[in-house]
Amino acid sequence: MSDCEKKVPEVVIKRLPRYYRYLGELLNQNITRISSNALSEKMNVTASQIRQDFNYFGGFGQQGYGYNVEHLFNEMGEILGLHDHDTMIIVGAGNLGRALANHNAFEKRGFKLVGMFDNDKKTIGSTVNGVKVMPVDELETFIKENRVDIGILTVPKSAVQETAERLAKCGIKGLLNFSYTELELPDEVTVENVHFSDSLMILSYNIRHRGEE
């Protein structure tokens, strides 16, 4: 429905979830309209940047009035694809995989967990947050018979590249990779990394250089 003429820079896309979060908050507080200026103060960015960012996707505002919060929130959700209700599977039902399965924030934002997979006989057959853990062997069959948009990878580092390739071969479009590894995959597959260790290292650096001009 939305966009597009010029390619939207990745830096802009990375900011969208933050806008979405703030707009959701405003909505919760029953605030119906906001100006780029007011939002810029809340978010600690320039009003100019906000207007530029929004205008990559077309004008959502109205001169002299500002932006309608609910409308903007919905548009943002639409742009991010949240209204399509992507389905996800988690491969690797260890501590992290199970914690993510129990993490209801995903569902709240329109992502639906439809299956979990593991190799461990002890966890196979069990249920996490209402979702069954199946053997990894059945990955291909499952994906053939069910719509699966996104794969979440919480397998051990040693297995992640191979697992990712299997999912890619099944035609999965996007992967959320929690392994401390960079995946090498065909261009059709989009990968987003969540590297805890990286975040911790960046934090560690910044702690030591706080306040440097």
Partner DNA sequence: TAGATTGTTAATCGATTAACAATC
Is 100 among the residues that bind a copy of itself (CB under 8 A)?
yes
Residues 6+ apart with CB under 8 A from 98: 128
Is 17 among the residues that bind a copy of itself (CB under 8 A)?
yes
Rounded CA gap, 199 and 213, in Å?
22
Smallest gap from Cβ 168 to DNA, in A, equals 26
Smallest gap from Cβ 114 to a copy of itself, in A, equals 15
Q: Could you tell me which stretch among 27-35, 47-55, 117-125, 172-180 binds a copy of itself (CB under 8 A)?
A: 172-180
Count of residues that interact with a copy of itself, criterion CB under 8 A = 61
Q: Could you tell me which stretch among 58-66, 93-101, 108-116, 136-144 binds DNA (CB under 7 A)?
A: 58-66
95: left (phi over 0), alpha (psi -120 to 50) or beta: alpha
Among candidate residues 127, 123, 151, 122, the one with its CA nearest the CA of residue 139:
151
Q: What is the DSSP string of 8-43?
A: PPHHHHHHHHHHHHHHHHHHHTT--EE-HHHHHHHH
Residue 37 interface partner, choices a copy of itself, DNA, none, CB cut-off 5-8 Å depending on type: DNA
Is 74 among the residues that bind DNA (CB under 7 A)?
no
The Cβ of residue 111 has, within 10 Å, a number of other Cβ atoms equal to 19
Residue 156 interface partner, choices DNA, a copy of itself, none, CB cut-off 5-8 Å depending on type: none
Residue 90 is inside which H or E element, if any? Answer: strand 87-91
Is 166 among the residues that bind a copy of itself (CB under 8 A)?
no
Binding residues for DNA, rule: CB under 7 A, are 9-12, 35-37, 45-49, 51-52, 54-55, 59-67
